[in-house]
Amino acid sequence: MKLTALIIEDEKNIRDFISTSLSTQNYKAVTAFTGTEGLSLFTSIQPDIVLLDLGLPDLDGIQLIQKIREWSSTPIIVISARTRERDKVLALDTGADDYIVKPFGSKELFARMRTALRHSNRLNTTSPLYNRPYHAKDLTIDFERHLVTLGEKEIHLTQVEFKIVALLARNSGKVMTYDNIMSEIWGPYTDTNNRILRVNMANIRRKMEENPGEPVYILTEIGIGYRMLEDDISG
Ligand code: CA
């Protein structure tokens, strides 16, 4: 069964590049030139995933993310020439699943799409993937038993540390912004200062990473947030 990808992009070259690349994979590509057209196609075809440019002729991609997120959790990957951290953070905090900077290769695009699609399955609480343990390299996280092991060794995390690790693991492969993590762990009205998160992260890395200075499992996206190594489960 083919998955449908909606590409909302006003640059013809990029639109063609993406739809040609996708047609070599298991995707059916549908394209839109403007935001308005994109939104109306989104409603009528209900795609499995959206690839969205931010600089559109009629409206800003951010507005489109807002509109889609009012009623849909379909994965959205932003593909933009905007490289500033604050643009990425804004798109992610508005509800985009990932962010790719132009120019990009098709391999990177496919990998991000796979992650976003898997992620939307994993976060569906009715999916069997939801409670399946996270596993990558030597690290295993059993969500139900609150158990974290590195090889044979059990890692003892505080309750807050476990919540952070579990949140990132359930979203593995995907970048989570500082604000996003802060509000999930400490509530939506928490301090905007992310020092408490960074302190917890330092402790987590000391316990979980062989070399906390060069983390393997939880990577820092400078100025944006954290991305946990994608888990091994397939499908
Ligand atoms: Ca554009």
pLDDT at 50: 98
Between the CA of 87 and the centroid of ligand 1 the distance, in Å, is 14
The predicted structure's pLDDT at residue 129: 67
43 contacts: CB under 8 Å, gap ≥ 6: none
Question: How far is the centre of ligand 1, averaged over its atoms, from the C-alpha of 2 (Å)?
Answer: 27
Strand segments, DSSP code E, in the chain are 3-8, 27-32, 49-52, 76-80, 98-101, 134-136, 139-142, 147-150, 153-155, 175-177, 218-221, 225-228
Contact indicator for 117, 75 with CB cutoff of 8 Å: yes
User: In which domain, by residue range, is 143 found?
Assistant: 134-228
Q: In terms of domains, do 11 and 110 share one?
A: yes
pLDDT of amino acid 122: 66
Domain final residue, candidates 79, 101, 122 = 122
The pLDDT value given to residue 190: 74
Q: Quick check: is 199 in a domain?
A: yes
Range name among 6-10, 127-131, 134-138, 208-212 with the lowest pLDDT average = 127-131
Cβ pair 7, 19 in contact under 8 A: yes
Distance 91 CA to ligand 1 centre (A): 15
Residues in the chain: 235
Name the β-bridge partners of 100: 79
Which two tokens mark 41?
A: 């196609």
Over residues 173-228, the pLDDT tens digits come to 889 999 999 999 998 777 778 899 999 999 999 999 999 999 999 999 999 999 99
Whether 105 is covered by a domain: the verdict is: yes
CB distance 153 to 147 below 8 Å: no
Residue at 111 is within a domain = yes
Asked if residue 129 is part of any domain, the answer here is no
Distance 38 CA to ligand 1 centre (A): 13
DSSP states of 187-218: -TT--S--HHHHHHHHHHHHHH-SSTTS-SSE
The reply to whether 114 and 192 lie within a common domain is no
Residue 128 falls inside a structural domain: no
Query: What is the domain count for the chain?
Result: 2
Whole-number Å distance, alpha carbon 48 to ligand 1 midpoint, is 22
Q: For position 144, which CATH number holds?
A: 1.10.10.10
The pLDDT-based confidence of 235 (bands split at 50, 70, 90) is very low
pLDDT bucket at 124, cuts 50 / 70 / 90:
low
Q: Is residue 176 part of a domain?
A: yes
46: domain CATH number is: 3.40.50.2300
Same domain, 111 and 195: no
Q: What is the pLDDT of residues 12-64, one digit of tens each?
A: 999 999 999 999 998 999 999 999 999 999 999 999 999 999 999 999 999 99
- Other CB atoms within 10 A of residue 178 CB: 20
Q: How far does residue 55's CA lie from ligand 1's centre (Å)?
A: 4
Q: Tell me: do 116 and 223 sit in the same domain.
A: no
Distance 106 CA to ligand 1 centre (A): 18
